[in-house]
């Protein structure tokens, strides 16, 4: 499959994934949420929606980036998760953290899409 077709298929999957039920955030099962940030994400649908989008974009990028890019993506994600945890249950802080991470992931995906087939 060419890169544009793969990207189109992945973006279609992303569009369909943002309607996940609140019983499960994309990056963790809400039934096992114990940390304050996870509990807040599961309790607030807008945060849950951001989590679904973030996790979906992360998985898409992980599957299409070259090996070095994948390592950086994982390292950046781990650093971001540590930052998210510092928010605790503060919904405004979590919203800001998700918005910033989504901006980065959207930008990386847009840059990848601009490169065209290789």
Model confidence band, residue 18 (pLDDT cutoffs 50, 70, 90): very low
How many Å from the N-terminal Cα to the C-terminal Cα in the chain? 11
How far is the C-alpha of 51 from the C-alpha of 62, rounded, in Å? 16
pLDDT digits (tens, 9 = 90+) for 43-98: 999 999 999 999 999 999 998 888 888 899 999 999 999 999 999 999 999 999 99
* Cβ neighbour number for residue 60 with a 10 Å cutoff: 22
Residue 24 in 3-state DSSP?
A: strand
Residue 34 in tokens: 């114990």
Dihedral Cα 35, 91, 13, 81, nearest 10 deg = -50
Sign of CA dihedral 36, 38, 39, 41: positive
Which pTM value belongs to this model? 0.77
């Amino acid at each position: 499959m060419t890169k544009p077709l793969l990207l189109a298929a992945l973006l279609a999957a992303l569009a369909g994934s943002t309607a996940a039920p609140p019983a499960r955030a994309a990056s963790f099962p809400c039934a096992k949420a114990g940390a304050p940030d996870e509990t807040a994400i599961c309790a607030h649908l807008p945060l849950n929606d951001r989590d679904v989008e973030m996790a979906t974009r992360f998985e898409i990028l992980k599957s299409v980036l070259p090996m070095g890019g994948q390592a950086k993506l994982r390292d950046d994600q781990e650093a971001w998760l540590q930052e998210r945890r510092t928010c605790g249950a503060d919904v405004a802080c979590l919203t800001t953290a998700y918005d910033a991470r989504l901006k980065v992931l959207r930008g990386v995906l847009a840059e990848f899409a601009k490169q065209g087939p290789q």
